Amino acid sequence: MARYPGLMLRVLASDHPAIGPGKAQLVALIDSTGSISAAAREMGMSYRRAWQLVEALNASFIEPVVMTAVGGKRGGGAVVTEFGRTLVAQFRAMEDKASAAIAADLEHLQRQMRKPPRSTRRK
Amino acid sequence: MARYPGLMLRVLASDHPAIGPGKAQLVALIDSTGSISAAAREMGMSYRRAWQLVEALNASFIEPVVMTAVGGKRGGGAVVTEFGRTLVAQFRAMEDKASAAIAADLEHLQRQMRKPPRSTRRK
DNA sequence: ACTCGTTATGTTCAATGGAATATAACGAAG
DNA sequence: CTTCGTTATATTCCATTGAACATAACGAGT
């Protein structure tokens, strides 16, 4: 799910996650599809879950991120606000900057990680 | 739990978290207390949970992070390896760098988040 | 020997989270 | 007016996770 290999970044409001890789992708898909349910389908996520994430997003910020309207067949749907669009862009920019800032350390760390189990008993 | 206000960073191995704020703090506490159980107590975490995290840490890296020895009353205990110490230091450094790199954006974003619910129904 | 505090596990239970399912209300299109 | 695809929500079920509890083995000190 993380866009950057080996790195996961989340922005917190007080203590709960306000936006992270998942919500960012969801908003982007809502923007491109025009509906929560279509975005949910593309992410292999239940509609309910996606809707809850949208609700959480809207509750976390002072401006709406996604505006919704009931009714189908091009009557209803979901629209990502301009605020929401810049929100995702800002988050992506933060991912970029963070990734660039720690790229060297990350590589170094990744060279030191692997799979096989090992005994760590002393003596 | 996050050391940096509004920011949470995790380093992933393939897809599972190799190290994050929680494991980093745990290792630091094991280092200062000399035991997994004492560290767990200080974090308000069950011993079993802490032990599992240590196991996961040791399994994730090519070098041991924590070495253990059974037996109490200064017979047994846990020792953070030099690798483990530098691992935590590196992670903290990555948090520092990431935090510094996105500090401005983070502040800007945080100025746009708040608590009160709001209606987002269109039309 | 005994005790104490530790690592190391197993087991059981509760809480959490997500999936699945079911409706309801709705709005545009036909 | 019917149909279709959507938002919105309740309910039920299941899997995962962590907490709690229990127990064993152990090693150093007393």
Verify whether the Cβ–Cβ distance A10 to B12 is below 8 Å: no
Chain B residues near residue A9 by CB distance under 8 angstroms:
7-9, 98
Cα gap B119→B123, rounded to integer Å: 11
Closest B-chain CA to A97: B101
* pLDDT, chain B, mean: 90
CB A61, CB A87: distance < 8 Å: yes
Q: What average pLDDT does the segment A29-48 reach?
A: 95
Q: What is the pLDDT of residues B46-73, one digit of tens each?
A: 999 999 999 999 999 999 999 999 987 7
Predicted confidence at residue A5, as pLDDT, reads: 78
Predicted confidence at residue A3, as pLDDT, reads: 63
> Which nucleotide has the least CA–C1' distance to B70?
C7
Predicted confidence at residue A67, as pLDDT, reads: 96
Cα gap B87→A112, rounded to integer Å: 10
Instruction: Indicate if the pLDDT at residue B1 is higher than 70.
Output: no
Predicted confidence at residue A100, as pLDDT, reads: 96
Query: Bridge-partner residues for B66, per DSSP?
Result: B80
Class of domain A20-97: mainly alpha
Tell which wins on pLDDT, B73 or B8. Answer: B8
Instruction: Indicate if the pLDDT at residue B79 is higher than 70.
Output: yes
Domain ranges across chain A: 20-97
Instruction: Indicate if the pLDDT at residue A115 is higher than 80.
Output: no
The helix (H) or strand (E) run that includes residue B57 is helix B47-60
Q: What is the pLDDT of residues A88-98, one digit of tens each?
A: 999 999 999 99
A26 — pLDDT class (breaks 50, 70, 90): very high
CB B27, CB B66: distance < 8 Å: yes
CB atoms inside a 10 Å sphere around CB B31: 17
Cα gap B28→B19, rounded to integer Å: 12
Predicted confidence at residue B102, as pLDDT, reads: 97
Predicted confidence at residue B78, as pLDDT, reads: 95
Helix, strand and coil percent figures for chain A, each rounded to 5: 50, 20, 30
Give me the residue from A59, A69, A90 closest to B109, CB to CB.
A90
Predicted confidence at residue A23, as pLDDT, reads: 97
What CATH code would you report for B11-110?
A: 1.10.10.10
Verify whether the Cβ–Cβ distance B64 to A105 is below 8 Å: no
Tell which strand D nucleotides have any atom below 7 Å from a protein Cβ. Answer: 3-11, 18-22, 25-29
A34 — pLDDT class (breaks 50, 70, 90): very high
Predicted confidence at residue A117, as pLDDT, reads: 44
> Which nucleotide has the least CA–C1' distance to A22?
C18
Burial class (CB within 10 angstroms; exposed 0-12, middle 13-18, buried 19+) of B22: middle
Pairing mode, strands B77-80 and B66-69: antiparallel
Give me the residue from A13, A117, A118 closest to B113, CB to CB.
A13
Predicted confidence at residue A120, as pLDDT, reads: 59
Question: Rounded to 5 degrees, what angle do the CA atoms B115, A95, A104 make?
Answer: 140
Instruction: Indicate if the pLDDT at residue A71 is higher than 90.
Output: no
Predicted confidence at residue B76, as pLDDT, reads: 87
Closest A-chain CA to B86: A109
| A1: amino acid identity, one letter | M
Cα gap B112→B110, rounded to integer Å: 5
Cα gap B60→B54, rounded to integer Å: 10
Mention every residue, 6+ apart, whose C-beta is less than 8 A from residue A52: none
Instruction: Indicate if the pLDDT at residue A18 is higher than 80.
Output: yes
Residue nearest to nucleotide C9 (CA to C1'): B48
Nearest-neighbour CA in chain A from B74: distance (Å): 14
Cβ A70 to strand D below 7 Å: yes
> Which nucleotide has the least CA–C1' distance to A35?
D6
Q: Left if phi > 0, otherwise alpha if psi is -120 to 50, otherwise beta: which for B69? A: beta
DSSP label at residue B10: E
Rg (CA), chain A: 18
Give me the residue from A97, A105, A122 closest to B102, CB to CB.
A97
**By C-alpha distance, which of A85, A95, A94 is closest to A27?**
A85
Predicted confidence at residue B120, as pLDDT, reads: 60
Percent of chain B with pLDDT over 90: 79
Predicted confidence at residue A88, as pLDDT, reads: 98
Q: What average pLDDT does the segment A27-36 reach?
A: 96
Query: Bridge-partner residues for B7, per DSSP?
Result: A11, B4
CB A60, CB A117: distance < 8 Å: no
